[in-house]
Amino acid sequence: MLSRVADAMYWMHRYIERAENYARFVDVNFNLSLEMPPDQTEQWKPLVVTTGDWELFSKGYKKADKNSVIHFLGFDEKNPSSIYSCLVQARENARSIRPEITREVWEQVNFLYYFVKNGMEKKLWKIEDPRSFFTEIKKGCLLLYGLFDATIARTDGWHFGNVGKLLERADKTSRILDVKYHILLPGPEEVDTPVDLIQWAALLKSASAFDMYRKKYGKLNVSHITEFLILDQDFPRAMLRCLLIAEKSLHIVSGSTGSGMSATAKKLGLLRSQLEYTDIQQIISFGMHEYLDDFQIKMNDISKSIFEDFFSIDNIVSRAR
């Protein structure tokens, strides 16, 4: 497969997954703000911190309130990770490889792009209740995932896209967990209070994990929630599950195992094994923030390694010689 096609498939999936995650974050946080006690400070800043874009946000906005955060994460053209910017990039990547994707996929990518563009023109971040708009974005992205699965052949391109989607998903799950630990909870005296449990429930909902968590564990419990989102091997948005499936796709596109594995496959396999052979008490003892921060650093390293192994022109030329 051409490196250009693989690169476009990989990033198209990452951008779509990122847009869907941001829509979920905004939707759930809006619900959370309605459930919080009247004297509780609105928690919009953590959403920006979750994305890693607080520095960029602080340069353009004076206050992290509802309207400014929703505009920044949803519609800001200067934010390369906003929902609108992600769909612009996803659409451009899809356009560049139009012969490699189906008509159904192309039409749905276009629909999502124009749907969000229309919302930007109507300044929907200023309306009183934007939840239905972000719900439609989530549904549109989920439909697109279904179209990828139902209409695209399981070639290298599909697997590159799958790797991109799953790495993005694992990263976002780790970030929302990290923010809960260090920002949403004001102090240790509020652990297990009603406010704390409301926030943990919102966190599960932000990962579409609330129903499956309750089915497996029942009562809300901090260690069980973190275990479910980090170490569960069956839930689709759990960090370990994402790495397990991404690793399978990566082995298919790299076509090698053992000593012949690419640097990316080795790094991904090492990170997967570190999650697979630990337990939640070891993670908590190590320090939840420290563990998640280390995970994100390693995920960034894997992303760089994917570029060097599969998309870098210099590397492709050297392998062709």
| Model confidence pLDDT, tens digit, residues 270-314 | 999 999 999 999 999 998 889 999 999 999 999 999 999 988 765
Cα separations in angstroms, 13 against 84, 248, 261: 15, 17, 24
Q: 228, 209 in Cβ contact below 8 A? A: yes
Q: Which residues contact 135 (CB under 8 A, 6 or more apart)?
A: 23, 27
- Which pLDDT score, from 0 to 100, does residue 40 have? 57
Residue 296 is encoded by which pair of tokens? 């994100």
Q: 151 lies in which domain range?
A: 3-320
Residue with tokens 């992205």: 141
Answer whether residue 173 shows pLDDT above 60.
yes
Answer whether residue 318 shows pLDDT above 50.
no
Most confident of the ranges 47-61, 187-201, 256-270: 47-61
- Which pLDDT score, from 0 to 100, does residue 321 have? 42
Q: What is the DSSP string of 95-121?
A: HHTGGGS-HHHHHHHHHHHHHHHHHHH
Distance CA 262, CA 176 (A): 30
Q: What is the DSSP string of 205-258?
A: HHTT-HHHHHHHH-S--HHHHHHHHHH-SSSTTSHHHHHHHHHHHHHHHH---G
Query: Rounded to 5 degrees, what angle do the CA atoms 166, 262, 246 make?
Result: 15
Distance CA 321, CA 136 (A): 49
Q: 102, 92 in Cβ contact below 8 A? A: no
The pLDDT confidence band at residue 189, using thresholds 50, 70 and 90, is: low
Answer whether residue 112 shows pLDDT above 70.
yes
Q: What is the DSSP string of 127-157?
A: SS--HHHHHHHHHHHHHHHHHHHHHS-SSHH
Q: 222, 190 in Cβ contact below 8 A? A: no
**What mean pLDDT is reported for the chain?**
88
Instruction: Tell me, rounded to whole angstroms, the distance of Cα 6 from its chain centroid.
Output: 20
Phi, psi of 52 (to 5 degrees): 80, 20
- Overall number of domains in the chain: 1
Q: What percent of the chain lies above the pLDDT cut of 90?
A: 65
Sign of the Cα torsion 71, 73, 79, 82 reads negative
